[in-house]
Amino acid sequence: MDSAELDWLSLVAVPMLAVRSGAVVAMNEAAEALFVDAPKALPIAEGAPPPMGATCTVAGVPRRLKVGARQVSPDDDLWSLTISEARSAPDNATDDGDWVDLLPAITNLLPVALLIEDANDVGVFANRGFSEIFGYELAEIAALDDWWRKLYPDPVVREAARLDWAAKLAEAPAGDGTISTSEFQIRSGKGIDKMLQTHSFRIGGYRVHSYVDISHRHRMTLELQVLADTDALTGVPNRRSFFQQAGALLRAGQPLAVLLLDVDHFKLVNDRHGHAFGDEVLVEIAKRCRAALRSGDVLARLGGEEFAVLLPGQDEANATAVAERLRQAMANSAAVGPSDRKPVTVSIGGACAVTGEVPLEELLLRADRALYAAKRAGRNCVRFYTGEPSDTASGGGAAPGENRPQTRRHKDAG
């Protein structure tokens, strides 16, 4: 074949050689620029179309070149060789095949968001998962100011998030600066609040972040927490939640009043009308109590027919007024169930802690003694603990017809 017949090589932009019988017979300008001095021969694997990577010395410099071979003319054994730089495989790779070139496509198929930032905290790469999770293209939030402003539109939340991230960076170890699993909430570009889990590390002059959307798991966790803290029948906080909230309020050192409410003659209600009707009564009592309380007050069901109320910041006078309002909400309301039934009434006992100096166990014991005094006074009334002997009549024993084991009621206090 005449060399003029290989002029088409000059039309190819990438380095290309024409090889016959293992010897280079022509090359284009791009190949001359690569090799500087034209080689007389180049080892190739003829008949193997897939590109191969090989290390060789070009102009005195070790280079990893990838060679693609194609037979041009079977008649005279003419081959064209396409030369390109081969990327080095990662240290933990077993080969340097085509998968290295596929890495960008691979990252786009991962079910996570990837973000790479330069030394100036500017995003330089994001995969497809990034836009799917965040609801923004990288260009929209690549700059750090745009990131904070758009993902945290609330200034208060934004400042808290900034401080939290700064603290994590300060705590990150030297070297790769790894920030292991961390969770945070953002407002996506579609206006949806999402809970994300991130892992971050430095490599070279860049920081790499990976993000996983855990919003569904987070919602499930919150729902399970609500179920664990809620009375299934009435929908108000349960015994466990009551003790947790009461303890937290006392530790805060603010004034706190506790009310214990007990449904009068509830055993007779169950005996005469059945437990299903008794449940209706308890649901209605919870409903009426919530309507009579402030938003910051806590109503809880401790068990059976006994309810408790936490009144943060209330002294005895104010707490007594609230207790009386609750009592009247029961006594003056329409009866639950048949029209010939009398309204259900409650007896209420209360106690106050002025500055949190009273342990929760003692505060509940005082309220329980006051409740007992209300029962002794004929029920359907309010009594507050005053420290007088009448508050502890019979040492806190049960009123006739009532079964009120204090040790069972307050075993969770502390």
Please report whether residue 69 resides in a domain: yes
Find the mean pLDDT for residues 306-326: 95
Please report whether residue 324 resides in a domain: yes
Look at residue 350 and tell me whether its pLDDT is greater than 80: yes
| Residue tagged active-site, from 46, 117, 137, 305 | 305
CATH of the domain at 328: 3.30.70.270
Last residue of a domain, one of 194, 218, 242: 218
116-129 tens-digit pLDDT: 999 888 999 999 99
Over the Cα atoms of the chain, what is R_g? 39
Specify the number of domains making up the chain.
Answer: 3
* Coil/strand/helix, residue 339: coil
Is residue 305 annotated as a catalytic residue, yes or no? yes
Q: Is there a single domain that holds both residue 172 and residue 271?
A: no
* Residue given tokens 């994590």 in the structure block: 168
Last residue of a domain, one of 218, 241, 267: 218
Directed axis angle between helix 144-151 and helix 155-171, to 10°?
130
Share of the chain above pLDDT 70, in %: 79
Please report whether residue 31 resides in a domain: yes
Q: Is there a single domain that holds both residue 206 and residue 243?
A: no
278-292 tens-digit pLDDT: 999 999 999 999 999
Q: Is there a single domain that holds both residue 51 and residue 33?
A: yes
164-192 tens-digit pLDDT: 999 988 888 877 788 887 899 999 999 99
Q: Is there a single domain that holds both residue 213 and residue 235?
A: no
126-161 tens-digit pLDDT: 999 999 999 999 999 988 899 999 999 999 999 999
Q: How far apart are CA 125 and CA 321, in angstroms?
A: 63
Q: Is there a single domain that holds both residue 29 and residue 111?
A: no
Last residue of a domain, one of 170, 186, 218: 218
Q: Which residues contact 255 (CB under 8 A, 6 or more apart)?
A: 312, 313, 314, 315, 352, 353, 354, 355
Q: Is there a single domain that holds both residue 22 and residue 87?
A: yes
Residue 329 identity: A
Q: How far apart are CA 251 and CA 248, in angstroms?
A: 5
DSSP per position, 85-105: EPPPPPTT-S--SGGGTTHHH
Confidence of residue 404 (pLDDT cuts 50, 70, 90): very low
Q: Is there a single domain that holds both residue 256 and residue 211?
A: no
Better pLDDT: 222 or 324: 324
Q: Is there a single domain that holds both residue 389 and residue 319?
A: yes
* Residue given tokens 């790779």 in the structure block: 93
**Are 327 and 348 a contacting pair, CB within 8 Å?**
yes
Number of Cβ within 10 Å of residue 98's Cβ equals 11
Range list of β-strands (E), 192-340:
193-203, 206-213, 256-263, 298-303, 306-312
Which range marks the domain in which residue 152 is found?
103-218
| Tally of helices (H runs) and strands (E runs) in the chain | 13, 15
CATH of the domain at 25: 3.30.450.20
Q: How far apart are CA 340 and CA 110, in angstroms?
A: 68
209-223 tens-digit pLDDT: 999 999 999 999 888
Q: Which residues of 18-45 are buried (b: 16+ CB within 10 A; e: fewer)?
A: bbeeeebebbbebbeebbeeeeeebebe
Please report whether residue 65 resides in a domain: yes
In terms of DSSP H, where are the helices of 293-390? 316-331, 360-376
Q: Is there a single domain that holds both residue 110 and residue 194?
A: yes
Q: Is there a single domain that holds both residue 155 and residue 243?
A: no
Q: Is there a single domain that holds both residue 329 and residue 405?
A: yes
Q: Is there a single domain that holds both residue 147 and residue 172?
A: yes
Please report whether residue 224 resides in a domain: no
